[in-house]
Amino acid sequence: MSDTPVDLVLDLNSEDDTGLPWGFVDEASDPSRIREGAWIVVGSGTARAVAQVADIEGEIVHVRPLPGPVSRHRHLVGHNVA
């Protein structure tokens, strides 16, 4: 659903040597929500996914997106897994 607000802007096809999509903390709608283990909505353009923050290295955030539409995983958003 392309009108779903995004917590972190990133290109879901941009993978680095970790094999995970990545973005910049300062591009988050609320950087305080970007914590390791947090479930957030990521994407750009019309592409959206629920993803777990895998790690944060300086200003770079790696995420593990879940397959399928945001509506299937929306219940996870806002929760943390330590």
Domain boundaries, the chain: 8-76
Residue whose pair of structure tokens reads 């591009």 in the numeric block = 27
Q: What is the pLDDT of residues 6-64, one digit of tens each?
A: 999 999 999 999 999 999 999 999 999 999 999 999 999 899 999 999 999 999 999 99
75 neighbors 29 (Cβ within 8 angstroms): no
The continuous run of DSSP H or E covering 73 comes out as: helix 70-73
Phi, psi of 50 (to 5 degrees): -85, 135
Q: Which structure tokens are listed for 74?
A: 């929306």
State the fold for domain 8-76. Ribosomal Protein L25; Chain P (2.40.240)
**pLDDT at site 70:** 95
User: Distance of alpha carbon 3 from its chain centroid, rounded?
Assistant: 16
Q: What pLDDT band is residue 2 in, cutting at 50, 70 and 90?
A: low
Q: Which structure tokens are listed for 48?
A: 């959206």
**pLDDT at site 1:** 46
